[in-house]
């Protein structure tokens, strides 16, 4: 029923809110450097074009000739998430940095009209201002004749149109035989140009013409000349309808050059960029003829007609928008009515269905009650059987533990004596210490099982002794301080007990509770973490707690951690699962309690409360033996030594295993033949494999963070490590489990416990197989160095399952070398970068695959290509040398002779004589 209701609600939402699926329109930000007539005409064109594109909106801002304001406008567009920014820079030097910042942030940017320094933009649209300047000079020659004198009023300094119009006019003037007698900047505005024109005309009243970089400055010069009674020709640039063309029509100036706006083209280019369509990155607008008294009136009429048509388009768009608004409202009402009808039908159906189900459920409940009674009786019988089976298992484990103690004792004593022997080699001493350490661990586990069995049978006694608890804690924590220093963990002990405080406890059992809690804290606390032990009195009870900053315990596991044989980490267990259960039993024998608070990723805190009791005032106070540091080391392990220095004369071996003793044993067995590095889990193993690219990896299957199967699979999927043979260590001997390892890309298996000779042989064979594969890939000096991808390796040559990945890697390498064959500057760093690897990773990968260094392989490929060209073409030897990437023909000849035992000339002479 709930599923049907959810489906109805989903259907209703889809019908009622169709507009939710509408795509948000593109936002286009336009930054104009000023607000003159030419730019207002462009803005009109932009607004007219955007009416035909409902998928986009524009916002236009004008900087009014201020660099600071334009920078603020562009940053406003960038900070507010506009999809593309279009800008006409006020001054190139000032605006280039902000345009570059926008471009490098990933936001497309179009520069128009004026340029910036460099090409950090997505597209550019503008007119060739240099050609406009030349056209103006040609037209000036037409008006004033050869030898005429011209005054130039320039635009804003630093503005690229002003610079280019100035350069173009001066080039044209030189070619046309006219001279520029004076030049000054009018900053593009009428107000700034008036005093400039007044000053220039005062100094040069005999000038024949004033050439202004825009129409407003030209009109200013005309007003000044008319006021002074001077008659001279005046031309401008821009031809904005309401300024330049009107001034020509009114005979204020003699001519103006049409500076194309084409705002519609800007919008179309912006949409093409946003939609991923082809566009022209640099677009130069075509030049137009000058506007003079003969065509000014026609252009004004055309502009008026265009404005009228624009207003009609705006009106039509408004009417269409209103129509669609009403249509959307009516559609929403229709969908709402349909949704309500569907809901009513659904509710009616649910009511009928509920009635029918209620009738059926009454019959089912009666039948279920009968079945539950039968199941209750069966469950009771099963519980009795389970209890009996559990007791049988405990009896079995207890008997086995008793039986194990005798041979363990016989093993422990000889091992202990051999550890103290002085005639052993250093390697034998390390192996005997590992054996002695693990014998103590086995003895402790057997004692735990026997103690737990006694507790289950109610036969575990408490031997109370009056002790100074504070002194005991200081003795117990002494060994843990040494382990804390080795592990980089901060250990603090805070005892808030009176100096004369004593308590009656079973010292051995409380010592084991303390040891269990502290060892667990050290197991799960990473380096640079902290562990804190506190002890105090509260309400007549001794309270002591162990808090750590380890990985914590999940909520679902907190309620079960004191259950016997329960382990939080069921995939990678670190113990027998009875340590905390036995600690709880020892505390309860003292009529106390133990509790835990924990949070994943933050840490855990175990708290023990024991009632304060005393035997008698004359009871003897004792201090038991301190936990030896060797026992703590047996429980917690030692710190991993630093990796050996890489020795190129020995194969590099990476060992990945979470067991400290296994790593030490493999180090002792293989360190004479290999340079070895170690990792305690699969995650660190992947990192070291990618960093050092070893010749062989030995990896355990069962590990924390990442198991060996996943580690092997990821090693074989990485381009930089796919060729490395992987040997898995496992205690699992079933064929299905081995098949999983081979499916993950493993090259071999060694079962635990392993024989040292078998391990050495498997390592040696895997490396020899890899070496034979390299020999297949490089069978001769030029090496089978073809320009085709290498074939997959034969299966009987121990090729990795990911051989296709190595073939793809080499094929991609060959394609890059073939494309860049003629580039004599191509080097190993460039190749490694294009292959997506570091220099050392790339070197070891190529060396492992081909038996050549990258430099040797590149030279051989060039020589192979040169030999093909020498035998199939008539090109000269120098041409071929440069074509295959050699810097000089002489060096090419030297390398060729070393490779083929003859010079290129001798080869051609030998071929021509046949």
Q: Examine the domain organization and report whether 721 and 586 are in the same domain.
A: no
Burial class, 338, CB count within 10 angstroms (exposed 0-12 / middle 13-18 / buried 19+): middle
Query: What are 798-832's pLDDT values in tens digits?
Result: 333 345 666 677 778 888 888 888 787 787 788 87
Across 175-202, b (16+ Cβ under 10 Å) vs e yields: ebebebbbeebbbbbbebbbebbbebbe
Does 807 lie in the same domain as 691?
no
Band the pLDDT of 794: cuts 50, 70, 90.
very low
How many Å apart are CA 822 and CA 94, to the nearest integer?
Answer: 41
- The answer on 547 and 664 residing in a single domain is no
For residues 38 and 247, the answer to whether their CB atoms sit within 8 Å is: no
Distance CA 392, CA 394 (A): 5
Please determine, for residue 73, whether its predicted confidence score (pLDDT) is greater than 90.
yes
Residue 621 lies in a domain: yes
Residue 488 lies in a domain: yes
709 and 763 in a single domain? The answer is yes
Contact 401, 578 (CB under 8 A): no
Strand partners, 84: 28
pLDDT the model gives residue 692: 84
Verify that 135 and 228 share a domain, yes or no: yes
How many angstroms separate the CA atoms of 44 and 47, rounded?
Answer: 5
CA neighbours closer than 13 Å in the CB half-sphere of residue 780: 8
Q: How confident is the model at residue 409 (pLDDT cuts 50, 70, 90)?
A: low
| Long-range CB contact pairs, 222-231, < 8 A, 24+ | 222/247, 222/252, 222/253, 223/194, 223/252, 224/194, 224/197, 224/198, 225/197, 225/201, 228/201, 230/201, 230/205
pLDDT digits over 193-207, tens only? 999 999 999 999 989
Q: Minimum mean pLDDT among 23-37, 195-209, 477-491, 829-843: which range?
A: 829-843
Instruction: Give me the CATH number covering residue 143.
Output: 3.40.50.2300
Residues comprising the chain, all counted: 914
299 close to 241: Cβ distance less than 8 angstroms: yes
Confidence of residue 760 (pLDDT cuts 50, 70, 90): confident
CA 492/CA 525 separation, integer angstroms: 14
750-760 mean pLDDT = 77
* Per-residue tokens: 103: 């471009």
Which range (12-21, 96-105, 290-299) has the least confidence? 12-21
Last residue in a domain, options 703, 737, 770 = 770
CA separation for the pair 505, 493 (Å, rounded) = 21
Mean pLDDT of 749-758: 76
Q: Which two tokens stand for residue 614?
A: 């005393």
Out of 116-130, 244-258, 668-682, 838-852, least confident range: 838-852
Q: How far apart are CA 490 and CA 654, in angstroms?
A: 31
Q: Is residue 278 domain-resident?
A: no
Alpha-carbon distance of 17 to 450, in angstroms, equals 70
Q: Are residues 468 and 598 in the same domain?
A: yes
Beta partners for residue 726, in sequence order: 697
Domain identity same for 665 and 567: no
Q: ∠122-125-128 over CA atoms, to 5°?
A: 135
My answer on whether 606 and 477 are in the same domain is: yes
Tens of pLDDT, residue by residue over 298-308, are 888 877 777 77
Q: What string of H, E and C letters represents the secondary structure of 852-896? A: CCHHHHHHHHHHHHHHHHHHHCCCCHHHHHHHCCCCCHHHHHHHH
Which CA distances in Å does 444 have to 22, 403, 437, 457, 632?
Answer: 70, 15, 11, 20, 12
Contacts of 262 (CB under 8 A, 6+ apart): 42, 45, 125, 285
Residue 243: CB atoms within 10 Å = 24
Instruction: Look up the domain containing 198 and give its range.
Output: 130-253
* pTM given for the model: 0.35
pLDDT band at 635 (very low <50, low <70, confident <90, very high): very low
Whole-number pLDDT of residue 209:
94
Query: Residue 823 belongs to a domain with what CATH number?
Result: 1.10.10.60
737 and 824 in a common domain:
no
Q: Burial code of 454-467, b = ≥16 C-beta within 10 A, e = fewer?
A: ebbeeebeeeebbb
pLDDT for res 428: 77
Q: In what order do the strands lie in the sheet with 109-112?
A: 56-62, 26-32, 84-87, 109-112, 123-127, 282-285
Q: Are 554 and 664 in a shared domain? A: no
In a domain, 857, yes or no: yes
Report the alpha-carbon distance of residue 714 to residue 611 in Å, rounded.
Answer: 55
Is 481 domain-assigned?
yes
C-alpha span between 123 and 126 (Å, rounded): 10
Specify the higher pLDDT residue, 599 or 460.
599
> Is residue 572 pLDDT above 50, yes or no?
no
CB 833 within 8 Å of CB 848: no
End-of-domain residue from the set 590, 606, 636:
636
CA-CA distance, 862 to 782, in Å (whole number)? 10
511: domain CATH number? 3.30.565.10
- Tell me the pLDDT band of 774, cut-offs 50, 70 and 90: low
The count of C-alpha atoms lying within 13 angstroms of the C-alpha of 852, restricted to the half-sphere facing its C-beta, is 21
Per-residue pLDDT tens digits for 274-303: 999 999 998 888 776 788 888 877 888 877
- 243 near 216, Cβ under 8 Å? yes
Q: Helix, strand, or coil here: 828? A: helix
264 domain-assigned: no
Distance CA 845, CA 847 (A): 5
Specify whether the CB–CB gap between 36 and 243 falls below 8 A.
yes
Nearest 5°: CA angle at 779, between 773 and 784? 105
Question: Last residue of some domain: 222, 253, 284?
Answer: 253
Specify if 664 maps to a domain. yes
Return d(Cα 852, Cα 778) in angstroms, integer: 8
DSSP, res 526: P
C-alpha span between 534 and 495 (Å, rounded): 6
Helices and strands counted in the chain (H then E): 29, 24
Judged by DSSP in three states, 55 sits in coil
Shared domain for 742 and 799, answered yes or no, is no
Three-state DSSP class for 750? strand
Q: What angle do CA 270, 273, 275 make, to 5 degrees?
A: 105
b/e code 603-637 from CB counts within 10 Å (16+ = b): bbbbbbbbeeeeeeeeeeeeeeeebeeebbbbbbb
Name 698's bridge partners. 655, 727
Number of domains in the chain: 4
Evaluate the omega torsion of the peptide bond into residue 726 and state whether it is cis, within 30 degrees of 0. Answer: no
**pLDDT given at position 886:** 85
Q: Where are the alpha helices (DSSP H) in 51-91?
A: 67-79
Closest CA to 401 of 357, 351, 451: 451
Mark whether 692 and 574 lie in a shared domain. no
Instruction: For the chain, give the mean pLDDT.
Output: 80
Q: Would you say residue 429 lies in a domain?
A: no
């Amino acid at each position: 029923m709930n599923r049907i209701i959810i489906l109805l609600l989903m259907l209703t939402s889809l019908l009622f809110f169709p507009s939710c699926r509408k795509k948000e329109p593109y936002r286009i930000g336009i930054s104009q450097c000023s607000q003159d007539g030419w730019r207002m005409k462009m803005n009109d064109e932009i607004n007219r074009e955007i009416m035909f594109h409902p998928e986009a909106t524009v916002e236009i801002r004008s900087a009014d000739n201020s660099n600071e304001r334009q920078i603020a406008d562009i940053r406003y567009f960038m900070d507010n998430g506009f999809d593309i920014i279009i800008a006409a820079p006020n001054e190139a030097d000032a605006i280039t940095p902000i345009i570059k910042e926008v471009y490098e942030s990933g936001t497309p940017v179009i520069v128009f009209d004026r340029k910036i320094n460099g090409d950090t933009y997505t597209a550019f649209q503008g007119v060739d201002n240099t050609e406009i300047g030349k056209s103006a000079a040609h037209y000036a020659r037409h008006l004033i004749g050869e030898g005429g004198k011209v005054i130039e009023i320039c635009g804003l300094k630093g503005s690229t149109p002003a610079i280019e119009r100035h350069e173009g006019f001066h080039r044209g003037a030189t070619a046309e035989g006219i001279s520029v007698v004076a030049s000054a900047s009018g900053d593009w505005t009428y107000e700034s140009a008036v005093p400039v024109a007044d000053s220039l005309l005062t100094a040069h009243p005999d000038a024949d013409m004033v050439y202004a970089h825009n129409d407003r400055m030209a009109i200013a010069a005309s007003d000044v000349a008319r006021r002074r009674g001077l008659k001279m020709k005046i031309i401008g640039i821009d031809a904005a309808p309401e300024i330049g063309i009107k001034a020509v029509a009114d005979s204020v100036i003699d001519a103006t050059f049409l500076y194309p706006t084409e705002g519609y083209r800007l919008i179309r280019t912006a949409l093409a960029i946003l939609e991923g369509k082809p566009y022209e990155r640099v677009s130069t607008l075509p030049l137009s003829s000058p506007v003079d008294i003969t065509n000014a009136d026609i252009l004004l009429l055309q502009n008026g007609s265009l404005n009228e048509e624009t207003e009609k388009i705006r009106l039509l768009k408004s009417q269409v928008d209103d129509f669609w608004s009403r249509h959307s409202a009516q559609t929403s009402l229709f969908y709402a009515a349909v949704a309500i009808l569907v809901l009513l039908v659904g509710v009616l159906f649910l009511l009928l269905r509920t009635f029918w189900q209620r009738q059926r459920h009454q019959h089912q409940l009666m039948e279920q009650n009968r079945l539950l009674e039968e199941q209750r009786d069966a469950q009771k019988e099963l519980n009795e059987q389970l209890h009996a089976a559990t007791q049988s298992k405990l009896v079995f484990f207890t008997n086995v533990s008793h039986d194990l103690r005798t041979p363990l004792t016989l093993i422990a004593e000889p091992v202990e004596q051999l550890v103290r022997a002085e005639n052993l080699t250093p390697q034998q001493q390390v192996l005997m210490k590992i054996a002695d350490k693990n014998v103590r661990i086995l003895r402790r586990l057997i004692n735990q099982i026997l103690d737990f069995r006694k507790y289950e049978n109610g036969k575990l006694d408490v031997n109370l002794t009056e002790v100074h608890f504070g002194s005991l804690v200081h003795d117990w924590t002494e060994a843990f301080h040494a382990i804390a220093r080795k592990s980089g963990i901060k250990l603090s002990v805070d005892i808030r007990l009176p100096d004369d405080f004593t308590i009656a406890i079973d010292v051995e059992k409380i010592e084991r509770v303390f040891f269990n809690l502290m060892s667990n804290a050290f197991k799960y606390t990473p380096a640079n973490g902290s562990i804190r032990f506190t002890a105090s009195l509260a309400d007549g009870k001794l309270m002591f707690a162990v808090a750590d900053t380890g990985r914590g315990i999940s909520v679902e596991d907190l309620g079960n951690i004191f259950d016997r044989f329960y382990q939080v980490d069921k995939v990678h267990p670190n113990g027998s699962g009875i340590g905390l259960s036995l600690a709880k039993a020892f505390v309860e024998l003292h009529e106390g309690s133990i509790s835990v608070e924990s949070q994943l990723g933050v840490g855990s805190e175990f708290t023990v409360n024991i009632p304060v009791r005393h035997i008698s005032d004359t009871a003897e106070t004792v201090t038991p033996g301190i936990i030896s540091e060797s026992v703590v080391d047996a429980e917690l392990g030692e710190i991993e030594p630093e990796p050996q220095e890489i020795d190129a004369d020995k194969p590099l071996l990476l060992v990945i295993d979470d067991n400290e003793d296994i790593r030490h044993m493999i180090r002792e067995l293989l360190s004479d033949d290999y340079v070895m590095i170690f990792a305690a889990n699969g995650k660190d193993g992947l990192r070291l494999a990618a960093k050092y690219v070893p010749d062989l990896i030995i990896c355990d299957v069962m590990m924390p963070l990442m198991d060996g199967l996943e580690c092997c699979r990821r090693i074989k999927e990485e381009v930089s490590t796919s060729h490395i043979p992987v040997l898995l260590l496992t205690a699992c001997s079933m064929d299905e489990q081995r098949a999983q390892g081979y499916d993950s890309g493993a090259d071999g298996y060694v079962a635990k416990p392993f024989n040292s000779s078998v391990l050495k042989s498997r390592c040696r064979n895997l490396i020899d197989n890899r070496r034979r594969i390299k020999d297949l890939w490089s069978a001769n000096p030029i090496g089978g160095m073809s320009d085709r991808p290498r074939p997959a390796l034969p299966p009987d040559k121990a090729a990795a399952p990911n051989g296709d990945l190595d073939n793809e890697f080499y094929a991609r390498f060959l394609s890059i070398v073939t494309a860049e064959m003629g580039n004599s500057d191509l080097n190993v760093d460039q190749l490694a970068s294009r292959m997506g690897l570091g220099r050392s990773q790339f070197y070891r990968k190529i060396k492992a695959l081909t038996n050549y260094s990258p430099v040797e392989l590149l030279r051989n490929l060039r020589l192979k290509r040169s030999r093909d060209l020498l035998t199939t073409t008539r090109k000269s030897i120098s041409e071929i040398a440069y074509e295959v990437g050699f810097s000089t023909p002489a060096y090419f000849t030297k390398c060729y002779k070393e490779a083929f035992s003859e010079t290129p000339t001798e080869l051609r002479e030998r071929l021509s004589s046949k």
